[in-house]
């Protein structure tokens, strides 16, 4: 108990007026009193109990099985494994032998007998065998496990679900997100996504806990994350808890594979866009994996962007995993690296474009002998972009970001089943930006700063029907002028009965870094990151979310969520900058609200489906002008369908329909005189060009959008290898969805036409 008191004393000390504003302390006093109350000794059970913890992995590869179920048969006690495949169950009545059932969709369930001793920790490692190895039907999970995760606004995507989705040119993580309710895009040609009325720079993208500043290839057409290296994905659409910060709309948390611990293996694949390969295998005490991808053909990209753009991009990654196990402790050390690069040579764009991402991280996950585990990450994330003009009319632009971070998280398990999680993140940021505007004014900004945040949260798990997550994030040192030194957050879930569950979340969120985003650009060619200048306050948002889940059966679930998000100090480019002394950015406010409903079928006799509908509104107000952002769509319906035909045949279909996106209408033209060639004797007669006069910003609406994609995949077994062949069809019925109207001519440009593609994969 002395450890608990020391922890509370540490955070209460940092909450004194010496460190933060007194009014901020007063706002969150109820949170601190609640934590002290919940962790008091009088509330902890005194009966003889024990703790069970361990890992659940794939028996063939050793990969963690995220969200696998652990159940003590004959009881209602159970949990789901986390992103590390780790699970823990506290307060198990001792002096008994239990049958532990481990189950995961697509794997054979396994039962293990375990003896629980009083005041002792029992550690086990369960390995599940993939069901198709024995050519048996996948066992269905008949018992529901009450996951201790408070899952409001969370979507989990498995690697298997990614593989079954229609691929387009190839499987893409970011494009998969666009089929989640509450997520919008601005067209077929972009993998950028917008969550519940927030801008694209308000989405935090993490790869093994490391922030990725530009997660896109080819001007945003595809993500830099190769699905071949991903083991688990968590996507928070809002209401995320106190351990996550730095953005105000959403969090995409991706964990890569650790590599096969039992044997050497490899894959290679070829599509109409890229060639890629991976190698993995065991090392003494652990495993490794290396992946690589390279663009091969750029003709298919012309279907996406309607320009002659010779792209050249690549990405590669490596990960080394080392484990130290004992009866009472477990240590895992990970070394991770990732690099990507893009080159777009001049053709019709008058410039050469270059992008580079470099990520490196060292992670130490430690399960201690006491009911405590910790995770420490040291990481470096670099982003470098530049635009090289090749004629006098083009504009030079450069952007660099260097992010060096140290992050430590601790989780303490109580006898009452509750958890206390706390930690800190120390980050140094170095940014530089140079650009020229169309008015020929120049911006040259360099900045270096540090960000120090602390967080603590208490997870109320002891009650049978009521679960809670009470947390606060402390901005001890911020890169920007921040109105919110403290960011309190609250998540609640109440189980009405075995089938019905209601949920609610509230929280305050801030971010110190933004992008220079020009909303008038149809395809964003250059979106640089900067730390906010001194004249701007940090963007912030307040989330209000309520929802309801209904589990009709172990195969069928239904949920509804309603949200309201109020944003302040959101940034936009200053359209009225005419001299270097004028500010580059202006601040405004935003508001979004709506509701989403989703029906999901999980592997019911080979059928998997996700059907959703969302009704939403989004507004921005800049310089006292209220308008719809480009990604505001009122009605959106999405259907994802997959079916196992048997004999290793799978078919998938995606269909989406949405109301038209806002756009700025063209009102008229006039002949404008340009002083570009005064030495020409006929310049008075030849220096006129049509100039477009635009209407009110985003007041027009495009027609309804809808599109159907299909996918057919066949798996062949040949000796010691697996061969996958996939055929995909984009826009099956060749719907003419309007993308935009050319400003110079008013010509209508459509999105993707009917496109058949194919891919081939060899797995050794």
- DSSP calls for 25-88: HHHTHHHHHHHHHHT-GGGS--S-EEEEEEEEEETTT--B-TT-EEEETTSS-EEE--TTSEEE
Contact present, 50 and 118 (Cβ < 8 Å): yes
Place of tokens 């590669």: 316
Q: How far is CA 517 from CA 200, 415, 438, 697, in A?
A: 9, 50, 15, 16
Tell me the C-alpha distance between 519 and 663, whole Å. 10
State the pLDDT at residue 493. Answer: 94
Tell me the C-alpha distance between 635 and 181, whole Å. 11
Q: If one looks up domain 154-251 in CATH, what number appears?
A: 2.170.130.10
Tell me the C-alpha distance between 80 and 87, whole Å. 7
Q: How far is CA 69 from CA 73, 464, 602, 666, 755, in A?
A: 12, 18, 15, 57, 41
Cβ count within 10 A of residue 408: 15
Helix (H/G/I), strand (E/B), else coil: 386: strand
Q: How far is CA 238 from CA 183, 193, 203, 421, in A?
A: 11, 14, 10, 20
State the pLDDT at residue 572. Answer: 84
State the pLDDT at residue 209. Answer: 92
CATH topology assigned to domain 44-134? Immunoglobulin-like (2.60.40)
The CATH label, of 3.30.465.10, 3.30.210.10, 2.40.170.20, 3.90.420.10, for the domain at 252-306+331-664+699-763 is 2.40.170.20
Q: How far is CA 715 from CA 96, 487, 636, 644, 648, in A?
A: 46, 49, 34, 12, 5
Beta bridge partners of 587: 571
Place of tokens 């800049």: 622
State the pLDDT at residue 487. Answer: 95
Helix (H/G/I), strand (E/B), else coil: 464: coil
Tell me the C-alpha distance between 2 and 374, whole Å. 18
Tell me the C-alpha distance between 218 and 169, whole Å. 14
State the pLDDT at residue 120. Answer: 84
Tokens describing residue 195: 């969550």
Cβ count within 10 A of residue 462: 18
Q: Where are the domains of the chain?
A: 44-134, 154-251, 252-306+331-664+699-763
Tokens describing residue 457: 């949260």
**Residue-wise DSSP of 408-420:** EEEEEE-TTS-EE
pLDDT beneath 50: ranges in the chain: 1-26, 28-29, 32-33, 36-37, 39-46, 133-144, 146-147
Place of tokens 């996939």: 726
Tokens describing residue 208: 């093994």
């Amino acid at each position: 108990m002395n450890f608990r008191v020391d922890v509370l004393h540490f955070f209460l000390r940092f909450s004194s007026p010496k460190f933060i504003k007194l009014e901020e302390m007063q706002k969150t006093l109820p949170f601190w009193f609640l934590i002290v109350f919940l962790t008091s000794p009088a509330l902890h059970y005194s009966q003889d109990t024990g703790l069970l913890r361990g890992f659940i992995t794939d028996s063939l590869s050793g990969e963690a099985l995220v969200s696998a179920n652990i159940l003590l048969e004959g009881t209602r006690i159970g949990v789901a494994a986390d992103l590390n495949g780790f699970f823990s169950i506290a307060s198990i009545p001792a002096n008994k032998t239990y049958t532990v059932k481990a189950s995961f969709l697509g794997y054979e369930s396994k039962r293990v007998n375990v003896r629980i001793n009083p005041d002792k920790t029992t550690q086990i490692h369960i390995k599940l065998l993939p069901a198709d190895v024995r050519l048996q039907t996948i066992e269905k999970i008949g018992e529901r496990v009450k996951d201790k995760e408070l899952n409001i606004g969370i979507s989990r995507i498995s690697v298997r679900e990614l593989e079954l989705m229609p691929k387009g040119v190839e499987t893409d993580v970011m494009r998969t997100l666009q089929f989640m309710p509450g997520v919008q895009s601005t067209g077929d040609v972009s993998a950028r996504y917008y969550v519940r009325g927030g801008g694209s720079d308000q989405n935090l993208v993490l790869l093994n806990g490391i922030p990725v500043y530009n997660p896109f290839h080819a001007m945003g057409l595809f993500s830099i994350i190769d699905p071949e290296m991903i083991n688990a994905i968590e996507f928070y659409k809002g209401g995320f808890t106190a351990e996550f910060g730095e953005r105000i709309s959403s969090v995409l948390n991706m964990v890569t594979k650790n590599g096969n611990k039992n044997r050497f293996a490899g894959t290679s694949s070829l599509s109409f866009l890229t060639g890629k390969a991976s190698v993995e295998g065991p090392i003494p005490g652990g495993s490794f994996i290396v992946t690589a991808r390279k663009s091969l053909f750029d003709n298919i990209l012309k279907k996406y962007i309607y320009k002659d753009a010779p792209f050249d991009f690549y990405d590669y990654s490596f990960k080394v995993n080392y484990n130290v196990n004992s009866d009472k402790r477990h240590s895992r050390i990970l070394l991770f690296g990732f690099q990507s690069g893009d080159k777009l040579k001049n053709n019709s764009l008058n410039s050469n474009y270059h992008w580079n991402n470099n990520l490196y991280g060292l992670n130490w996950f430690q399960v201690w002998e006491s009911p405590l585990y910790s995770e420490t990450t040291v990481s470096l994330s670099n982003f470098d972009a530049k635009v090289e003009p090749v004629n006098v009319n083009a504009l030079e632009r450069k952007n660099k970001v260097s992010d060096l971070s140290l992050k430590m998280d601790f989780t303490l398990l109580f006898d009452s089943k509750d958890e206390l999680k706390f930690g800190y993140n120390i980050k140094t940021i170095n940014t530089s930006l140079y650009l020229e505007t169309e008015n020929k004014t120049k911006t040259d900004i360099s900045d270096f700063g540090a960000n120090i945040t602390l967080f603590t949260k208490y997870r109320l798990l002891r009650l049978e029907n009521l679960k809670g997550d009470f947390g606060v994030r402390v901005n001890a040192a911020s890169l920007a002028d921040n109105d919110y030194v403290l960011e309190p957050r609250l998540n609640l879930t109440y189980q009405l009965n075995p089938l019905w569950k209601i949920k609610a979340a509230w929280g305050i969120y801030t971010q110190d870094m933004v992008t220079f985003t020009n909303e008038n650009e149809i395809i964003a060619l250059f979106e640089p990151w900067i730390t906010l200048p001194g004249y701007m306050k940090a963007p912030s948002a307040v989330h209000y979310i309520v929802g309801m889940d209904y589990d009709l059966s172990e195969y069928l679930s239904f949920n509804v969520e309603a949200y309201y998000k109020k944003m302040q100090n959101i940034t936009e480019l200053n359209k009225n900058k005419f001299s270097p002394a004028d500010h580059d950015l202006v601040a405004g406010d935003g508001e979004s609200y709506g509701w989403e409903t989703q029906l999901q079928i999980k592997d019911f006799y080979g059928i998997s489906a996700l059907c959703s509908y969302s009704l939403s509104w989004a507004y921005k107000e800049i310089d006292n002008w209220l308008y719809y952002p480009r990604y505001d769509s009122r009605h959106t319906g999405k259907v994802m369908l997959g079916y196992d035909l048997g004999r290793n045949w799978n078919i998938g279909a995606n269909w989406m329909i949405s109301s038209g996106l806002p756009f700025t209408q063209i009102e008229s033209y006039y002949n404008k005189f340009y002083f570009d060639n005064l030495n020409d004797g006929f310049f008075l007669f030849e220096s006129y060009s049509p100039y477009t006069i635009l209407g009110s910003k985003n007041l027009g609406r495009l027609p309804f959008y809808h599109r159907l994609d299909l996918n057919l995949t066949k798996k062949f077994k040949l000796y010691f290898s697996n061969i996958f062949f996939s055929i995909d069809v984009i826009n099956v019925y060749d719907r003419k969805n309007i993308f935009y109207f050319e400003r110079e001519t008013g010509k209508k440009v459509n999105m993707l036409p009917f496109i058949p593609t194919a891919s081939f994969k060899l797995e050794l």
